[in-house]
């Protein structure tokens, strides 16, 4: 019900429904994720990390939940703990691409600025999933950072071929032209 209200843009009702879900299912990580999403749409930023922490405590082995919690840690500057969680996801679920991208983002950005390491992280999973659009987009962006333009152009051509009508692929192509 919380998700339905979210999609109908009734954010207060979504919050009430997700709070009720937690009352009914206090040991269900999905209820806390719904609550986190409702907090986000109600702009209650300070409470989001706590909701995700609770979801992660309930189900630390779910890669999606762990990834969301690690993202919250990263956004609040807790990079080392976030990297530890991303590493655990990658170790236990090596095909879970989002963890690679999120970990790479930390290395690519603040505080590390290790763009070459970010490239290696994403390229590792890309080799296993060479048609994954999200990985290609991330690699195009990092390729720009490291001035590896032939690879960025190769990936854009590949995205044109595989995903000719995808908005994200098109945005990446347009951005590439202006960089």
Q: How far is CA 25 from the centre of its chain?
A: 26
Summarize pLDDT for 13-56 with one digit per residue, the tens: 999 999 999 999 999 999 999 999 998 988 988 888 999 999 99
Compute φ and ψ for 96, nearest 5 degrees.
-85, 90
Please give the pLDDT value at position 146: 82
Compute φ and ψ for 109, nearest 5 degrees.
-110, -150
Contacts of residue 162, Cβ cutoff 8 Å, sequence gap at least 6: 131, 133
Alpha-carbon torsion, ordered 51, 55, 57, 58, to 10 deg: 140
Q: How far is CA 75 from the centre of its chain?
A: 11
Q: Cβ(84)–Cβ(90) under 8 Å?
A: no
Summarize pLDDT for 128-164 with one digit per residue, the tens: 889 999 889 989 988 988 888 999 999 999 999 999 9
Residue 113 clears pLDDT 80, i.e. is over it: no
Please give the pLDDT value at position 74: 92
């Amino acid at each position: 019900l919380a998700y339905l209200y979210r999609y109908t843009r009734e954010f207060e009702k979504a919050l009430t429904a997700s709070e009720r879900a937690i009352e009914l299912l206090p040991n269900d990580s999905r209820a806390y994720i719904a609550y986190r999403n409702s907090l986000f749409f109600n702009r209650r930023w300070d409470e989001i990390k706590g909701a995700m922490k609770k979801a992660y405590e309930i189900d630390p082995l779910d890669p999606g939940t762990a990834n969301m919690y690690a993202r919250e840690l990263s956004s609040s500057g807790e990079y080392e703990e976030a990297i530890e969680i991303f590493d655990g996801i990658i170790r236990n679920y090596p095909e879970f691409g989002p963890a690679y991208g999120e970990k790479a983002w930390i290395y690519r950005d603040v505080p590390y600025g290790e763009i070459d390491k970010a490239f290696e992280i994403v390229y590792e999973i890309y080799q296993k999933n060479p048609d994954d659009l999200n990985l290609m987009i991330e690699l195009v962006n990092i390729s720009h950072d490291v001035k590896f333009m032939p690879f960025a152009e190769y990936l854009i051509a590949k995205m044109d071929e595989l995903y000719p009508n995808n908005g994200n692929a098109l945005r990446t192509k347009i951005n590439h032209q202006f960089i």
